[in-house]
């Protein structure tokens, strides 16, 4: 496979703008190879050479090539016995930003974990750890959970780490990823549609819950039961069953589908529905 440089990619993209039925598939295949070989370089050429003039057809081709590759990547992710949540979050972030790499998720998480290390190692119990995490996430780092999501970019975890604003599900995953770096038993649970972070302290036979939409408010099991009663819903022990990484990624995809359904964006919906089936199966 020939490796295209900056000028070669620029020429290829210009050719795609005027593609014919005869050569269009060949050019698209060449662009797909270039994206797989060096996605960052393709992104750089687009930003530097076509910042305000990138043809919509070329942009669509770029997106669809990446979305097709994402189908295969999600299938490999879902086929694992115990798929890694961070991997799934990084993969799904590619839907809105095709050049996203695993490091765009792991690097900021590692940096935050390193900053927290001196404090967390001296914490007396998990309640104190949850308080520290909440203060760090919402006060020190300034992360903001959005009450409603109208843009699928707000559901991208990699973008959430950069912009420090996004869905409450992104905030919940941030708690989980940071807690797991310290060997804590941290999971996400679905309390009748309300996603909470569940922290279990087996040494002291204690559990606590964190509300990512309420600036990290700490809840007890009794608080959770009162909430369910207030909604006049019958209690179900499955409310405290940890969501698997597959289920979490499915929820991200379902949230994106919900937004795009309102916009009637069938082009993007086609791919997301396919991703949902891949994760389900």
Residue 145 phi/psi, 5-degree rounding, is: -80, 135
Please determine, looking at this structure, whether the domain spanning 90-280 carries the CATH number 3.10.620: yes
pLDDT value at 86 more than 70? yes
Mean local confidence (pLDDT), 161-182: 96
Of 41-55, 83-97, 158-172, the range with the lowest mean pLDDT is 41-55
**93-140 per-position pLDDT tens digit:** 999 988 788 999 999 999 999 999 998 888 888 899 999 999 999 999
Cα of first residue to Cα of last residue in the chain, in angstroms, is 34
Domain ranges of the chain: 6-81, 90-280
In the chain, what percentage of residues exceed pLDDT 70? Answer: 93
pLDDT value at 174 more than 80? yes
> Is the separation of the CB atoms in 90 and 101 below 8 Å?
yes
Give residue 1's pLDDT: 47
pLDDT value at 231 more than 70? yes
DSSP-assigned beta bridge partners for residue 217: 211
Question: What's the CA gap between 9 and 39, in Å, rounded?
Answer: 11
More confident residue, 177 or 31: 177
Question: What's the CA gap between 101 and 237, in Å, rounded?
Answer: 38
Kindly give, in sequence order, each residue whose CB lies less than 8 Å from that of residue 27, ignoring residues fewer than 6 positions away: 12, 15, 16, 19
Give the closest residue to 8 by CA, choosing from 33, 64, 19: 33
Kindly give, in sequence order, each residue whose CB lies less than 8 Å from that of residue 86, ignoring residues fewer than 6 positions away: 102, 105, 106, 109, 177
Of 16-20, 91-95, 145-149, the range with the lowest mean pLDDT is 16-20
């Amino acid at each position: 496979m020939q490796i295209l440089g900056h000028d070669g990619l620029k020429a290829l993209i210009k050719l795609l703008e005027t593609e014919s039925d005869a050569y269009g598939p060949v050019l698209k295949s060449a662009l797909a190879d270039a994206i797989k070989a060096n996605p960052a370089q393709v992104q750089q050429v687009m930003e530097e050479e076509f910042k305000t003039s990138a043809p919509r057809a070329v942009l669509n081709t770029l997106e669809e090539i990446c979305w097709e590759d994402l189908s295969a990547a999600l299938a490999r992710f879902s086929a694992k016995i115990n798929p890694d949540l961070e991997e799934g979050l990084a993969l799904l972030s590619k839907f809105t930003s095709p050049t996203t790499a695993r490091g765009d998720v792991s690097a900021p998480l590692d940096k935050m974990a390193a900053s927290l290390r001196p404090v967390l190692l001296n914490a007396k119990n998990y309640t104190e750890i949850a308080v520290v995490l909440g203060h760090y996430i919402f006060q020190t780092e300034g992360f903001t959970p959005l009450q409603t999501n109208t843009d699928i970019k707000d559901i991208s975890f990699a973008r959430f780490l950069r912009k420090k604003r996004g869905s409450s599900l992104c905030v919940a995953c941030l708690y989980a990823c940071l807690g797991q770096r310290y060997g804590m038993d941290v999971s996400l649970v679905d309390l009748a549609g309300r996603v909470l972070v569940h922290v279990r302290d087996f040494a002291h036979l204690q559990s606590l819950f964190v509300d990512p939409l309420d600036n990290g408010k700490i809840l007890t099991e009794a608080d959770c039961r009162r909430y369910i009663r207030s909604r006049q819903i019958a209690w179900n022990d499955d409310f405290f069953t940890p969501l698997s990484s597959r289920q979490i990624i499915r929820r991200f995809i379902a949230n994106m589908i919900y937004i795009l359904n309102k916009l009637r964006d069938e082009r993007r919906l086609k791919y997301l529905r396919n991703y949902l089936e891949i994760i389900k199966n």
